[in-house]
Amino acid sequence: MIAYNTLEVDQYYLIQPTADDEVILISPIMETRNCFLLCAFEDDSEYTYWVKKSDKFAELVDTLTEEEAIEFENIYLDDDDEDFGDDWFDMEDLDDDDENKLSSN
């Protein structure tokens, strides 16, 4: 068993939480004195959760290199953009008239 305190923020890890679990991708995104906030990528979902640094997981399968992390982010972000289709837009791109139309609906 491996303690979460061996992980580093902004790094990607492939771990097996328990011996019976499938491998998942995690990334510590915030650290406190005693905990990590982890972002996990499993199947088609992304979620965050807190763990104690003293908590343990079954196996550290791999640590992504910087190049692998960039490749993952490019693939993952491309997939997220496709979920929104052609209707996806950034609220910052709207002018005042557009925002007024949206808020009046």
Q: Identify the weakest region by mean pLDDT among 10-14, 21-25, 56-60, 100-104.
A: 100-104
Instruction: Please tell me the distance from the alpha carbon of residue 18 to that of residue 22, in angstroms, as a whole number.
Output: 8
Structure pTM?
0.71
Q: pLDDT value at position 45?
A: 87
Strands (E), 1-105: 2-3, 13-16, 24-31, 35-42, 45-52, 56-57, 59-63
Give the closest residue to 23 by CA, choosing from 53, 58, 47, 75: 58
Q: What is the pLDDT of residues 20-77, one digit of tens each?
A: 999 999 999 999 999 999 999 988 889 999 999 999 999 999 999 999 999 988 988 7
Question: Is residue 10 exposed (0-12), middle (13-18) or buried (19+ Cβ within 10 Å)?
Answer: exposed
Instruction: Please tell me the distance from the alpha carbon of residue 5 to that of residue 76, in angstroms, as a whole number.
Output: 26
